[in-house]
Amino acid sequence: RKEVEQDPGPFNVPEGATVAFNCTYSNSASQSFFWYRQDCRKEPKLLMSVYSSGNEDGRFTAQLNRASQYISLLIRDSKLSDSATYLCVVSNDYKLSFGAGTTVTVRA
Amino acid sequence: DAGVTQSPTHLIKTRGQQVTLRCSPKSGHDTVSWYQQALGQGPQFIFQYYEEEERQRGNFPDRFSGHQYPNYSSELNVNALLLGDSALYLCASSLIGTVNNEQFFGPGTRLTVL
């Protein structure tokens, strides 16, 4: 079983739409959780950390459910610039484990 | 403030050859991790270096080795290259003891093995 599993998408949404997707992780002892964004052929960049209480950063909302080992990301009012691959990331003992990514395309 | 830098950006090798990739961490960081990202996949952890020693290792064969220098820069060496080693190799730096282990990635080295 993979350490982190994500819905691969792709999600193709119009500008202004809301899109949500999630991932699950297998190691219940995982310590930290993140969403990274990766543009085509570029390096991953941290989008936001994810906390048990849930957190927002502008149009982005992340949720963590430790009991279900489930992480979600919601993007409101999608912009063309949100088109990217979103990587779900779990940290164990300073090692990052990545999902395969969810591809989001926002169309005009 | 310089971010994480990697060299070279692209590299083409043939099967059986050896390759060395280089990484300079973000200023103030002391830990370097290496990841391999195959096409269509998420990055896979290779190993992490701290205080010039390999601290953790992922599920990669001994053909993959590394080094960290006193200035915290790092090298990734791959021997006896296979076609399957073709990938984007990412270096990430961090500061030990950071609460959430945030890692910053370099632009990567794209390795093609023919």
The per-residue pLDDT for range A31-53, each reduced to its tens digit, is: 899 999 999 989 999 999 998 88
B61 pLDDT tier (thresholds 50, 70, 90): very high
DSSP A81: G
Shortest Cα–Cα distance, A97 to chain B (Å): 7
Q: Which residue of A has its CA nearest to B96?
A: A94
Cross-strand pairs, B35: B45, B90
Question: Are A96 and B104 in contact (CB < 8 Å)?
Answer: no
Q: Are strands B53-57 and B64-68 parallel, antiparallel or unpaired?
A: unpaired
A108 pLDDT tier (thresholds 50, 70, 90): very high
Q: Sort out which chain A residues have CB atoms less than 8 A from B92's CB and list them.
A: 96
Q: Sort out which chain A residues have CB atoms less than 8 A from B107's CB and list them.
A: 42-43
Is B59 in the A-facing interface, judged by CB distances under 8 Å?
no
Q: What percent of chain B has pLDDT over 90?
A: 89
Average pLDDT rounded to a whole number, residues B58-68: 96
**What is d(CA A32, CA B33) in angstroms, rounded to the nearest whole number?**
17
Across the interface, of A34, A43, A97, the residue whose CB is closest to B45 is A97
pLDDT tops 90 at residue B102? no
Average pLDDT rounded to a whole number, residues A18-27: 96
Is B101 in the A-facing interface, judged by CB distances under 8 Å?
yes
pLDDT at B100: 72
CB pairs under 8 A between A and B: 58
Q: Are strands A32-38 and A84-92 parallel, antiparallel or unpaired?
A: antiparallel
pLDDT at A52: 85
- How many CB atoms are located within 10 Å of the residue A48 CB? 18
pLDDT tops 70 at residue B1? no
**What is d(CA B66, CA B68) in angstroms, rounded to the nearest whole number?**
7
The per-residue pLDDT for range A60-88, each reduced to its tens digit, is: 999 999 999 999 999 999 999 999 999 99
